A and B are shown apart, each in its own frame.
Chain A
Amino acid sequence: MFELLQRNFHRVVPKVDFCSLRYVEEYSENLAVRQDITQPVKTKHDSGMMITVIDKGGIGYAATSDLSETGLNNAIKNAQLWAQRTQNRTITDFSKIIMPHRSGHYTSNMTQAWSQTSLADKLTLLHDEAALAKIDDRIVDWEASLWFIQRNQLYLTNYGGEISQTHHYLLPNIIVTASQGNETQRRSLGALGYCRQGGLEVLEQIDFKGQAYQLAEQSLQLLLAPNCPNKKTTLVLDADQMLLQIHESIGHPLELDRILGDERNYAGTSFVTLNMFGNYQYGSPLLNVTFDPTHSEQLASYGFDDEGLPAEKVYVIQEGILKNPLGGTISQKRANITGTANSRANSWNRPPIDRMANLNVEPGNSSFTDMISRIEQGVFMQTNLSWSIDDSRNKFQFGCEWGQLIENGELTQVVKNPNYRGISATFWRNLIQVGNIDTFQLLGTPFCGKGEPNQSIHVGHAAPTCVFAHVDVFGGE
């Protein structure tokens, strides 16, 4: 398909300021075992292309799954028509933006291909895992699942740009629900956070086998636990909650299109303004945050973004100081500021916008044991369950599946419904300990929602365990 599209595109590409073809082909397979019953096996084969035209200042796109020469011609005609309609009416003169025309190739690392293990063996693996969860009558629901995705992309431009990228993703999950009387509690495998690029070797990397038993035990413990206390205290967040904390209160506020106002009607604006870059104290000096596409197994690693910009590691916050926004070629030009290669689309039928990709908190020097031992009173929280934040990405409230009190330097009582709330602009300044590489985990989520039309996209967040001072924590009813 790549060769056919290349040939056809270069034959019919119009004489305009800029034209690109972005082709996406995606195959996915979902396997799940719930309560020892194999759930309907689902596959999806999606393919289509988007043509983007910039001409005389205007911009237009056309997306179609008709990949024939006729389909291509129609898409080009429609994209040109939109570029004409928008001339002299756009937020910026798009013809003045120099779009990349780069060439290159990127492929995910994969050592155990999904297809090399039979369907029967994969289902057996899930049955074996799910069976570990039913350890008590109070376990009322349990499920183990694997979601595999292979994505092939081709990006062509009218001045010879040609980028091909292939990604393989594995998204494993286990969810165990316990209930008794009026109480229900659940534990999951990092709320799907242990998703990575690669094949079935990911299961070994994350110690998938046997997790269902531990999660079941923990869900039963939560049933009997008291509510998380209501107080201002020291909060320890494990990596699978740091994922969410980074995402909502660093990632989204630093997206340049939000700062430029594009998202104000839907995903929201940002408390961050352009004049803060280079000088704003976002967090304590322990806070180092990178846009990092170089961890090959992390969910949103890639060679180029969807407008052809090469991806490189960039510090967005260094020693607590805000350095760079998350913005691709078009946003950088509009804001007159440097950014990152993060203009991405979730598929062929949505246009690229500024997204997070991998946004990581760099590890520090403290071991987990040392961090806990230094805390007289506090709460340890693990695995995101609930998230809510205002449209400026400031006032947040997050909840976790698992909580444990810290008393006199030790983890003690399990507590249920652990929640905490704060304000982004001050929360990160209370970062007082950062875990070392042993606490650092490569995590991510396939469900970051944004944009009009809406797009849900893969993002990666690697983080160590971190400690925050003076946080309002509380429990349930």
Chain B
Amino acid sequence: MQTYFNTLVDTLTTHLTGDEVFLCYFNGEQSDFIRFNRAKIRQAGIVVQNYVQLELIDGKRHAIGELALSGDLSIDGSRMQQLLSDLRAKLPFLPDDPYLLYATKVQHSEKLGKNQLPNVQDSVDEILTTVQGNDFVGFYASGGIFTGFANSLGQRNWHSSYTFNLDWSFYHDKDKAVKAAYAGFQWNNEQFQSKISQSLAQLTLLKRPARTIAPGAYRVYLSPTALYEIFTLLAENSFGLKAQKSKQSALFRMLAASPQQLHSTVTLRENTLAGVAPTFQNQGFTKPDNVTLIEHGKYQSALISPRSAQEYDVITNGADSTERPCSLDLAAGHFAMQDILSELDTGVYINNLWYTNYSDLAACRITGMTRFATFWVEKGEIVAPLNVMRFDETLYHILGKNLLALTNEQEFILSSNTYERRSIDSARLPGALVDDFMFTL
């Protein structure tokens, strides 16, 4: 696919006229998808999709078009040329764009993933054999993901990876279930069986009579997966320069004259080096290994797209146009994983949060639900599963004044998001022990 993309782009370069420049961004995948319900298959199939986004620039005018590629060089070549003509026809009707910025220094890169994925038939056999006798519901996605960039200045970048992600739940009854995932590059049956065993052990705990707690403030442990739900919400609009400058970031009070702060143990980075996403973006800029967003609880820097860099007269750090982080890394703390229950003592052990949203964005107050295996803990012992509870709490409490400790280990979480395409977002997060976490319903 890399050769195919480069051939398309090389051909297109010959069709430019005058001072025209183009930027070309490719994303494609070949994915097997299997959907399970009650340890049976509900849907299964394969999706092959390849898209190219072409941006034509002439001076300060530009327009962008995206195409689904067929895989046939002659057809796609013609369609790319037609797209180029269509974009060219738009430019006279567009004003100069004062915020246009693209990379003019050529920086090639290539990261080729090795395909070590299991045969999909073997995966199906292994999964179904292992989960028989349980109410297993889940989703398996597997295959290659390809990203490329090229411009008419000669820059070429390519990134490929071959991953699988099995995301599942074992259900006991109604909404009582254990959620887990096994993701990676190479299937290891021992690891898979171990993950399944851990899930089933938690499922046993869920069979105890469930408890309902009254609304109020509780000491809680938020697992890395639960924290990931909060950071997934924050990622949408909190860390970009545009959101911060236009006061729409949920964290904009961290930049106020009298800034709000998080706990001094909170250091958050966009850790591109440790992630699985490409290091290049749509305008051809290369991302730095790390961008420190929050350091020791204080705002440090933003993710800055080329467009925001022009608008606010700063230097871009290679963020894409959404200015969303895709490889978040929250530094580990000092509290040992094996001490979670004893440190929690009496309170709520939360494995998963669900459906978070803002109840007061300016105050970064977030509401959401507990979901899957959430337990009531007394004197360091799991006593009972908890019926779902709604929380409504500000981040300045959760990771600020009410944060007691972060675990000394991080968990690597690979996003299971498949909207439009398989996500290559990931995160490295510890767990958090939090006091006075407010449940409301």
Q: Residues of A with Cβ closer than 8 Å to B?
A: 37-38, 40-48, 50, 59-68, 71, 78-79, 82, 85-86, 89-91, 118-120, 123, 140-141, 177, 179, 181-184, 186, 260-262, 264-266, 268-269, 349-351, 385-392, 395, 397, 399, 417, 419, 421, 423, 449, 452-456, 475-477
Contacts and interface: CB of A to CB of B under 8 A. Distances in A.
Contacts of B175: 268-269, 390-392
Among B47, B128, B368, chain A packs the most CB atoms within 10 A around the CB of: B47
A388 B141 CA distance: 27
A119 B45 contact: no
A453 B141 contact: yes
A79 B419 contact: no
A260 B37 contact: yes
A397 B359 contact: yes
B247 A399 contact: no
Given A44-B67, A64-B48, A85-B120, 6 more contacts: A46-B51, A63-B48, A141-B247, A186-B248, A265-B167, A477-B363
A392 B371 CA distance: 10
A425 B228 CA distance: 30
A390 B38 contact: no
Contacts of B315: none
A419 B100 CA distance: 39
B353 to A, nearest CB: 10
Nearest to A65: B68
B46 A261 contact: no
B155 to A, nearest CB: 20
B65 A71 contact: no
B67 A421 contact: no
Nearest to B128: A89
Nearest to B79: A45
A100 B367 CA distance: 43
Given A38-B94, A119-B90, A390 B37 contact: no
Contacts of B247: 140-141, 177, 179, 184
6 A-B pairs with least C-beta separation:
A476-B360, A61-B45, A179-B247, A453-B418, A477-B363, A452-B139
14 contacts: A38-B94, A41-B94, A48-B49, A62-B47, A63-B47, A78-B46, A119-B90, A262-B35, A262-B37, A262-B42, A386-B361, A397-B441, A417-B359, A454-B417
Contact of B390 (A68, A120, A390, A456): A390
A386 to B, nearest CB: 5
B99 A68 contact: no
Contact of B46 (A48, A82, A86): A82
Nearest to B252: A184
B78 to A, nearest CB: 13
B256 interface: yes
B327 interface: no
Interface residues of B, number: 88
Given A264-B137, A452-B418, A65 B71 contact: yes
B292 interface: no
B253 interface: yes
Contacts of B50: 65
Contact of B65 (A44, A48, A351): A44
A264 B177 contact: yes
B246 A63 contact: no
Among B177, B246, B354, chain A packs the most CB atoms within 10 A around the CB of: B246
B69 to A, nearest CB: 6
Nearest to B121: A85
Given A264-B169, A476-B359, A60 B246 contact: no
Given A265-B137, A476-B365, A477-B394, A67 B70 contact: yes
B274 interface: no
B362 A184 contact: yes
B56 to A, nearest CB: 11
A43 B64 CA distance: 6
B10 interface: no
B252 A264 contact: no
B38 A261 contact: yes
A179 B44 CA distance: 49
Contacts of B70: 65-68, 71
Contacts of A183: 362
B98 interface: yes
Contacts of B350: none
Interface string B151-169: 0000000000000000111
A80 to B, nearest CB: 11
